[in-house]
């Protein structure tokens, strides 16, 4: 028989071991990133923008001149790391390595809680050596922070469902709200979780769901307040959502990240050009929310008049979402693996392996741990749906792995169970 789900205390030693291994692997890759490749001292696109933003905050500019255009949480936390250890890109990488190793430990503990000790070990190892996780520990980008916050949300969401504890509901909501400050589309997980919790716990879950929603709002309010002060405008988190929707639904749209003509992919220029294009089209100055609304209307107008093209792009995005290729955005991760001899050149698990192993274990865990498996499947499906209206890139797909890794880790105890079952049948047949 497979070991029963384990409480937090019994998986603490496993989580610590996973953290240590994951951190060492990331330290090695960071050394290679900064010493043997040109990327270490030369950040590109979002990495350069976040590094500049963190340094600007450190210099005393805690408030921006207008509402946030990019997700705000990562540069503020990075500025704190710079304040403690010095403002250089190696510090950013070490900060990310710490966050990434913590993510692996949290995922291992969650898998142990859902599927047992053996699954905790397997999940931790898969997360520690998952190629995209390792890659995004090096550049000064928000991906690793987002993965950690989403992993913490999942951990407390599982505990809330199993034990119906108000504390877990509250902390789950808090971490989901913080995750939304790195990638706003994860907020779609909130109603999915509330519906799941009420469907399973009925009236007993209502109080917990209230705590969950309050905590999510509390995490987001500082960004909303900043935007109101800076721009005298209501922007919940940041205002690039409308333009991102237009990227995926315009005459130049493709399933991947294809910018419309006249708009730079350079994050230092993008918000200026997006705003100026909207103001030129409408013939008047616009507040940030109005800029986002303009691009949203353009996107919906395209969808309304081009349903066939829209449907085709959505279908292709769904296919690409589950494809093995890491579609380039800021960095070409597949090209990097081919060009440079680093940790990433090792035979490490990629997305296809994680997805395949998770699918293999699903049937077995569905019979014994249906609640946990269905919650993970729900989150994976809802996250995919939150991406499909926009566009598919490696960074946009990355968070779904948080929900696949515990399922993939459960394959090991399932496989052990199958071997033991076959052995018992064989022994009975020889009697």
Check pLDDT > 90 for residue 156: yes
Backbone region of residue 60 per phi and psi (left: phi > 0; alpha: psi in -120 to 50; beta: other values): left
Which residue range(s) make up the domain with 357?
Answer: 8-430
Listing DSSP states for 345-378 in one string gives: GS----HHHHHHHHHHHHHHHHHH-HHHHHHHHH
What's the pLDDT score for residue 123?
96
Going by pLDDT thresholds of 50, 70 and 90, the confidence category of residue 272 is very high
Residue 2 in any domain: the answer is no
Check pLDDT > 70 for residue 6: no
What's the pLDDT score for residue 1?
34
Average pLDDT of the segment spanning 100-107: 97
Check pLDDT > 50 for residue 3: no
Q: Give the list of residues 6+ apart from residue 339 with CB closer than 8 angstroms, or none.
A: none
58 contacts 83 by C-beta, under 8 angstroms: yes
Residue 83 in any domain: the answer is yes
Question: What are the tens digits of pLDDT across the range 218-241?
Answer: 999 999 999 999 999 999 999 999
Report which DSSP code applies to 20. Answer: H
Average pLDDT of the segment spanning 130-144: 96
CA-based max dimension of the chain:
88
Q: Of 2-16, 187-201, 207-221, which gets the smallest average pLDDT?
A: 2-16
CA distance 93 to 339: 21
- Tokens 């898998």 belong to 111
257 contacts 247 by C-beta, under 8 angstroms: yes
Q: Which residue has the higher pLDDT, 414 or 37?
A: 37
Residue 315 in any domain: the answer is yes
What would you report as the CA-atom Rg of the chain, rounded to the nearest whole angstrom? 22
Cα torsion 191, 197, 200, 206 to 10°: value is -110
First vs last Cα of the chain: how many Å apart?
Answer: 22
Residue 1 in any domain: the answer is no
Q: Of 68-82, 171-185, 285-299, 324-338, which gets the smallest average pLDDT?
A: 324-338
What's the pLDDT score for residue 277?
94
Check pLDDT > 80 for residue 394: yes
Question: What are the tens digits of pLDDT across the range 335-370?
Answer: 899 999 999 999 999 999 999 999 988 877 877 788
CB-count burial class (<10 Å; 0-12, 13-18, 19+) for 28 = middle
Check pLDDT > 90 for residue 97: yes
414 contacts 2 by C-beta, under 8 angstroms: yes
Percent of the chain with pLDDT over 90: 72
Listing DSSP states for 314-327 in one string gives: HHHHHHHHTSSS--
Residue 383 in any domain: the answer is yes
Residue 273 in any domain: the answer is yes
Average pLDDT of the segment spanning 22-50: 94
Scored b (16 or more CB within 10 A) or e, 316-342 reads bbbebbeeeebbbbbbebbebbeebeb
Going by pLDDT thresholds of 50, 70 and 90, the confidence category of residue 419 is very low
Question: What are the tens digits of pLDDT across the range 80-94?
Answer: 999 998 888 999 999
Residue 76 in any domain: the answer is yes
Question: For residue 212, which phi and psi values (nearest 5 degrees)?
Answer: -60, -50
What's the pLDDT score for residue 361?
85
Residue 369 in any domain: the answer is yes
What mean pLDDT, rounded, does the chain reach? Answer: 90
CA distance 348 to 35: 22
How many domains is the chain built from?
1
Contacts 24+ apart (CB under 8 A), 234-237: 234/289, 235/67, 235/68, 235/288, 235/289, 235/292, 236/184, 237/68, 237/71, 237/72, 237/180, 237/181, 237/184
Nearest to 185, CA basis, from 257, 235, 136, 241: 241
């Amino acid at each position: 028989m497979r070991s029963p789900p384990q409480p937090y205390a019994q998986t603490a030693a496993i989580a610590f071991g996973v953290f240590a291994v994951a951190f060492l692997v990331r330290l090695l890759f960071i050394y290679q990133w900064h010493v043997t490749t040109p990327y270490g001292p030369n950040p590109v696109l979002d990495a350069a923008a976040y590094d500049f933003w963190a340094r600007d905050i450190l210099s005393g500019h805690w408030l921006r001149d207008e509402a946030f255009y990019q997700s705000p949480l990562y540069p503020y936390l990075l500025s704190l790391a710079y304040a403690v250890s010095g403002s250089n890109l190696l510090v950013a990488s070490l900060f990310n390595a710490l966050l990434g190793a913590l993510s692996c430990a949290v995922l291992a503990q969650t898998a142990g809680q859902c599927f047992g000790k053996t699954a905790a070990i397997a999940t931790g190892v898969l997360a520690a050596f998952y190629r995209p996780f390792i890659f995004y520990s090096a550049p000064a980008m928000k991906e690793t922070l987002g993965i950690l916050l989403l992993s913490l949300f999942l951990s407390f969401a599982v505990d809330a469902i199993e034990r119906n504890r108000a504390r877990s509901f509250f902390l789950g909501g808090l971490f989901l709200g913080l995750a939304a400050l790195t990638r706003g589309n994860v907020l779609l997980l909130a109603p999915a979780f509330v519906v799941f919790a009420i469907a399973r716990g009925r009236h007993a879950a209502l109080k917990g769901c209230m705590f969950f929603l309050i905590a999510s709002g509390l995490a987001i309010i500082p960004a909303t307040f900043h935007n109101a002060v800076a721009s005298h405008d209501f922007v919940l988190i940041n205002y690039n959502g409308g333009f991102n929707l237009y990227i995926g639904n315009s005459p130049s749209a493709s399933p991947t990240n294809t910018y419309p003509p006249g708009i730079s992919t350079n994050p230092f220029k993008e918000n200026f050009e997006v705003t100026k294009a909207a103001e030129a089209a409408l013939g008047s100055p616009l507040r940030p929310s109005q800029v986002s609304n303009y691009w949203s209307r353009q996107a919906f107008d395209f969808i309304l008049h081009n349903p066939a093209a829209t449907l085709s792009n959505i279908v292709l995005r769904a296919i690409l979402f589950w494809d093995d290729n890491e579609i380039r955005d800021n960095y070409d991760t597949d090209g990097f693996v081919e060009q440079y001899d680093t940790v990433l050149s090792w035979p490490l698990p990629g997305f296809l392996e994680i997805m395949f192993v998770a699918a293999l274990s699903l049937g077995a865990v569905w019979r014994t741990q249906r609640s946990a498996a269905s919650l993970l499947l729900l989150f994976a499906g809802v996250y995919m749906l939150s991406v499909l209206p926009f566009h598919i890139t490696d960074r946009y797909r990355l968070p779904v792995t948080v929900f696949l890794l515990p399922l993939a880790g459960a394959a090991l105890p399932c496989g052990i169970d199958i071997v033991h079952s076959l052995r018992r049948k064989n022994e009975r047949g020889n009697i």
